[in-house]
Amino acid sequence: MMADKQKVTRLLKTARGQLDGLLKMVEDDRYCVDISNQLMATQAILRNINREVLHAHLNSCVSEAFEKGDAQTKIEEIIDIMDKLSK
């Protein structure tokens, strides 16, 4: 992985902490809207992590593939990811 590992690790640990908090909120029968807000915050962190990983992929792996003349495989990978993201 070419993304900033420290940044990605920190964000993943934050998301994990939020998930642990969500589990406790559900166990404690907390207010639905509070749970929903926490879920959206966790999803936002995960989106940011994914964006970081994909930016690094484009700037390193995809760029390298273009230089080596092997771009088609990487283009297809990105198209597949874009399709998944748009669902």
pLDDT by residue, tens only, the chain of 87 residues: 788 999 999 999 999 999 999 999 999 999 999 999 999 999 999 999 999 999 999 999 999 999 998 899 999 999 999 999 998
What is the domain range of residue 66?
Answer: 5-85
Q: Which residue has the tokens 């964000």?
A: 11
**In this structure, what are the phi and psi dihedrals at residue 33, rounded to the nearest 5 degrees?**
-65, -35
Q: Cβ–Cβ contacts within 10 Å for residue 13, how many?
A: 10
Secondary structure string (H, E, C) spanning 42-79: HHHHHHHHHHHHHHHHHHHHHHHHHHHCCHHHHHHHHH
- Its pTM stands at 0.84
Does an H or E element contain 37, and which? helix 32-57
Number of structural domains the chain divides into: 1
